[in-house]
Amino acid sequence: MGGVGRDVLGANPIEELVIPDGTTVREHDLVTDGDVLVGGQSTVELGVRGRSVVAGERVSFDGDIEAEGDCRLDMWCDVDGNVLVEQDAYLGERAHITGRLVVGGDLDIGDDVDIEEGFEASGWIVIRNPMPTITFFVMYLTHLLHLGEEDEAQELVDELATDGDAQPLTIPRSASVSDDAWRVSTPARIGSDCRLHGNIRATEIEVGANDNVFGSLRAQDDVSVGSGTKIHGDVTTRDGDVRVEADAVVLGDVSGDDVYVHPDADVDGVIRARGEMHLQSRADREQE
């Protein structure tokens, strides 16, 4: 089973913020090699560029959407920009696009959709009320897992992520994403080799290796900073522990209950531990 299967089948795919390896923010665009899943009622104050883009109801995007695969926008979605789709597009009722919609495949469009600068599609155009795709995906996937039908569930996951080894970028319901801050009421998991702008706010935060985050990290529970990662801000938690691995750089303060800092890490500010302060490597911790 591929990596995306393990991650998605283990939980509801939009119950956490997941930023896969190599994701970057470039000139007000969120760019990833894989798919993008956005939970309903979220605000993304960026453009989005990925393979396939799927958004729940009442999601707003402040920029263009560019999808190499399909694009599925549920009802009441709002895009302040153009939507460029190489394959098929599905728009729920009352979706709004301020720019132009260009579709390389088929277009399935709901009632009262407003595309201010017009649209074109190379394939079939069907005007009706398409099913809310992300709602269907989550509910059907949960139902299959409840019945123990893991093979069928994996096939459903593979339809969304055609590359079985690619991790989709997931933004949970009611999230807010911008150049200033990523705010979610769920855990946040950031992969390796990412370049992100904005403060990260989540219930708990795990940051991979060799990332560059131009902002601070703040969580209710545990926070971990991977090796070689640079955080341009504070790393704080209200009720959890903080771990900073080898060669990581924190250009700010570090605060938590128990704080673990690798001897080869560099913390530019003040370290505050409400419990214990540990200056040790991962190997030392595992031997305890």
Query: Are both 49 and 168 inside the same structural domain?
Result: yes
Query: Are both 215 and 186 inside the same structural domain?
Result: yes
Final residue belonging to a domain, choices 174, 198, 216: 174
Query: Are both 39 and 164 inside the same structural domain?
Result: yes
- Predicted local distance difference test score (pLDDT) of residue 2: 33
Asked if 67 and 33 count as a contact pair (C-beta separation under 8 A), the reply is: no
Q: List, for residues 111-122, the tens digit of each pLDDT value.
A: 899 999 999 999
Quote the CA–CA distance of 144 and 166 in Å, as a whole number. 22
Q: 152 Cβ partners below 8 Å, 6+ apart? A: 144
Name which of 39-48, 62-71, 148-157, 190-199 the model is least confident about: 148-157
Long-range contacts of 150-153 (CB under 8 A, 24+ apart): 150/9, 153/9
Number of domains in the chain: 2
Q: List, for residues 182-206, the tens digit of each pLDDT value.
A: 999 999 999 999 999 999 999 999 9
Q: 68 in a domain, yes or no?
A: yes
Query: Are both 105 and 142 inside the same structural domain?
Result: yes
Final residue belonging to a domain, choices 142, 174, 206: 174
Final residue belonging to a domain, choices 139, 174, 209: 174
Q: 13 in a domain, yes or no?
A: no
Query: Are both 153 and 206 inside the same structural domain?
Result: no
Percent of the chain whose predicted confidence (pLDDT) is above 90: 70
Asked if 205 and 190 count as a contact pair (C-beta separation under 8 A), the reply is: yes
For 225, the enclosing helix (H) or strand (E) is strand 223-225
Q: List, for residues 127-168, the tens digit of each pLDDT value.
A: 765 555 555 565 566 666 667 776 766 666 666 554 445 678
Q: 103 in a domain, yes or no?
A: yes
State phi, psi for 146 to the nearest 5 degrees.
Answer: -65, -35
Name which of 8-12, 18-22, 161-165 the model is least confident about: 8-12
The partner residues of 243 in beta bridges, in order of sequence, read 224, 260
